[in-house]
Structure formats: structure tokens, C-alpha cells
Amino acid sequence: MKKLLMMIGVAAAMCVGAAENIVETTPKSYGWPIERFLAKQMEIARFNGGEVDLVMIGDSITHIWDRKGKGLSVWKQMTKGKKALNLGFSGDRTENVIWRLANGELDGYKAKVVTVMVGTNNNTSDRTDPANVAEGVKKIVAIIREKQPQTKIILHAIFPRGGSAESKHAAARARNDATNALLKKWVDEDGDLVWLDLTDKLTDGNGWVTNDVFYDELHPTTKGFEIWAKSLEPYLR
């Protein structure tokens, strides 16, 4: 444990350079992110090297799914009778996920299905290049393939955000869309990934999100999680 905390401290002190979206850094060297990281290590240890039906990797959109509130009942129904591991961390960017996966979150078990959706926090910044975000996602997939070669990877298009072109989320939405276009092209060329784009199911006729599906134009409501769960169902049978 002491060694792990030292690793976390070193990672937190790393300087982020031009390729900021693919550098391995931890979210924070203190507080709940590290507590959650360590708790997940204990959860993984309880699998005792066995199979896990579903592993979900992402940011707050994934994180809140199994917490009390809007997504918990849907999560329980979706994972009933299954071993599931939620590796969503609120606020995570691609580089934070890379650090977590490289430091134990994919070790000590065999996953049947792994889902990935991350990048919206990178794209919140107007200094972000969607091409860098896409490269970060590709690196995440590469780590999964290295550590879990038997698994089926479902790569989600980054969820839509923003209720209109005037929304504070509109610029980030455009960067999300640009990142998704790059990822879709890569997935088509790769040929061994499942690409799951729920944009049409999560938006209105104008392509924007509504409050009944995203309560704050970013995070899903119960209805949003139900749409997500139904879309995953064929892959989890």
C-alpha cells in the first residue's frame, strides 16, 4: 500500500506537455479519487482471478451509474446475476484513465466485456485538440488489449451534451463530435471493436439533449440510463 501511494504521488507530479491528452497522470494525489482507486483494488482482489462479466471504464457519466440516485436501479437490473465492475471516475480525462489502467485496474481477473467512454472532460477545454483526445482513447484500447486480450471491447461514442447551440456545452459538444468522427474512422479500419453510438437515441430531432434524458445537459437521468442499458443488453446476454 505504501509503495502504491508513492506511485500515485509521483504520477500526480508529472508535467503535462503538448500531448496532454495521452500522458499518464492520476486525477489527484489526495481525497476521494485515490480512496476510490484503492477501494477498486480491493474489489478486484475479491474476484480472485476469476471472470467478470462486465467492466465499464469512463468518467462521471459512468461513475454515477451505480451510485444512489438516478442510475442505481437501472444498474442493479442490468447487472443482476452478473459480476460487474464500474471503473468510472468523476472528472477523469483520457490521461487519468490511462494511469489507472496501467496501475492495476485491469489486473487480477478476466473480463468478458469491457466498455469505454471517455473524453468529454478533455473536450471541455477550448484548448483541446480532438485529435489528441482520440489518440488518448486509442491508447486506452491498446492497454485493454494488452492486459485483457480475451475480452470484447465496446467503444462508445462520447455522449452528446448541450441543449442548444446557445448552451454553454455547445463548443465542447462540437469537439466531442469531432473526436467521435476520428474514432469511428479508426474503428472501421480496426475491424475488431464494437462501435456503439447512442447519439440519435439520446437526442431530440434537432440533435440536442433534453432534460428528461440529461438532467444537466451532460449527465443522464434514469431515462438516459435506461436507454444506455437497453443498448448494451444484446452484448451482455
115-142: burial string, b at 16+ Cβ within 10 Å, e else: bbbbbbbbbbeeebbbebbbbbbbbbbe
Q: Over 50: is that where the pLDDT of 14 sits?
A: no
**pLDDT score, position 237:** 85
**pLDDT score, position 7:** 45
Going by pLDDT thresholds of 50, 70 and 90, the confidence category of residue 20 is low
Q: Over 80: is that where the pLDDT of 210 sits?
A: yes
Going by pLDDT thresholds of 50, 70 and 90, the confidence category of residue 32 is confident
**pLDDT score, position 22:** 74
pLDDT tens-digit series, residues 36-72: 999 999 999 999 999 999 999 999 999 999 887 789 9
Q: What integer best gives the mean pLDDT of the chain?
A: 90
pLDDT tens-digit series, residues 178-196: 999 999 999 999 999 999 9
Ramachandran quadrant class, 130 (left: phi over 0; alpha: psi -120 to 50; beta: rest):
alpha
Domains recognised in the chain with CATH numbers: 49-90+108-236 (3.40.50.1110)
Please give the model's pTM, rounded to 2 decimal places. Answer: 0.90
**pLDDT score, position 70:** 82
